[in-house]
Amino acid sequence: MTLNAILNPVLEGHDLSEADGILLLTQTDPVAIATIQQAADELRRQLVGDAVTYVVNRNINYTNICEQHCSFCAFRRDEGQDGAYWLDGATILDKATEAVQQGATEICMQGGLNPEAKVNGRSLDFYQRLIRTIKSEFPDLHLHAFSPQEVQFIAREDGLSYADVIVALQGSGVDSLPGTAAEVLDDAVRQVLCPEKINTATWLEIVETAHQLGMPTTSTMLSGHIETPVQQMQHLGLLRSLQQRAVARGDRGITEFIVLPFVGQEAPKPLRRRVGRDQPVRQDALLLMAVARLFLGRWVVNHQPSWVKLGLDGATEALSWGCNDIGGTLMEEHITSMAGAQGGTCMTVADLRAAIESIGRSPQQRDTLYQSLEPSFTTASDASRSTADSVMLI
């Protein structure tokens, strides 16, 4: 089968099969790869136009003390170990205040899994206090917080259901969940990467529960380590099915997809040795982003590269491989920079806008849910809604 026989139907609105996705991911001929890139870029243009969005946000990692030992993680510490920390409420509020003063519309908050982190003997109360610390001062700030792994941790510690935890977090002020801890949604890969984390079925169950409760999520893939193209496509297939079910129910579901290429420089040695390199292979990440754009099609229309993992130049290049969003300012990124990433820990709005303009595209500020924060602009969210509408009409 020729590449055009695979790519043309996708450009006409048909879904790519996982088998054809594997075929695309395993191309090595530069002409074939350029053809895939062009198709991904064209589909991006069809679905969301030429503007490139960004969000002004701040990361807050409230603790790095974690009971787990993921084989890629250079961030975690044991209680009492050098560099272990918990942020107190005043520090968290200072960080949020500084972010708001710099124009942030979002706080992204995630942290380690610390069984000691309890208020009144309950984990949920600890997490709710974190939320209230920010929301009591800044009720309109979007709180994008707590991965599916953190939801499971709270549920386990307090003997609650996932729905109980999500409803309580939502009631306290969490507006959306990061789709992190997905790594690769394949249990054989997870056994090597994160054997103590939730398995594939539980990740999917928690994210789907969030969608059903009206809580949007993002979605991610940690790529470029031990996983195969078959496992990458299986991961994308699970995400697409999850989003198809969300659309069928009328839920917002997944707002964006982010490829997170593995950075091994400071990762624990066994996985680093097994992978055999410290920094991501940019061309592999770009091809995966292009295939993800083609495969997720009209179901997940916003695609973001990681400037932290790839550097701002790599993220800018990804905007020609199917991506339409350059991510956030972050203001302080620790998890990947501690793993040895060379992309930096923060970006100014001027940095992001200049990168977008350097390739002749127009920068547009958005909020977390892809609503435009600039006048006269059709957002990817608007495009996504009209796409979802047309899906419902078919």
The residues that touch ligand SF4, with contacts defined as CB under 6 A, are 66, 68-70, 73, 75-76, 112-113, 149, 194
To ligand SF4, the closest distance from the beta carbon of 75 in angstroms equals: 5
Cβ closest to ligand SF4, residue 160 vs residue 338: 338
Cα distance between residue 123 and residue 92, in whole Å: 18
Angle, helix 148-158 to helix 162-172, in steps of 10 degrees: 110
Least distance to ligand SF4, CB of residue 117, Å: 13
CB 183 within 8 A of CB 194: yes
Edge-first strand order for the sheet with 52-55 is: 325-328, 52-55, 363-365
Of 43 and 335, which CB lies nearer to ligand SF4 in the complex structure? 335
Using DSSP, state whether 134 is helix, strand or coil: helix
Name which of 105 and 149 has its Cβ closer to ligand SF4: 149
Query: What kind and span of H or E run contains 311?
Result: helix 307-318
Closer to ligand SF4 at the Cβ: 182 or 239? 182
CB of 288: closest distance to ligand SF4 in angstroms? 21
Q: How far is the CB of 171 from ligand SF4 (least distance, A)?
A: 25
User: Quick one: 43 or 65, whose CB is closer to ligand SF4?
Assistant: 65
**Residue 365 phi/psi, 5° resolution?**
-75, 140
Provide, rounded to whole angstroms, the least separation between the CB of residue 59 and ligand SF4. 13
Name the minimum Å distance from CB 68 to ligand SF4: 4
Q: Using DSSP, state whether 112 is helix, strand or coil.
A: coil
> In 3D, which of 327, 301, 318 has the Cα closest to residue 46?
301
In one-letter notation, the amino acid at residue 365 is Q
Of the two residues 194 and 246, which places its CB atom closer to ligand SF4 in the complex?
194
d(CA 20, CA 12): 16
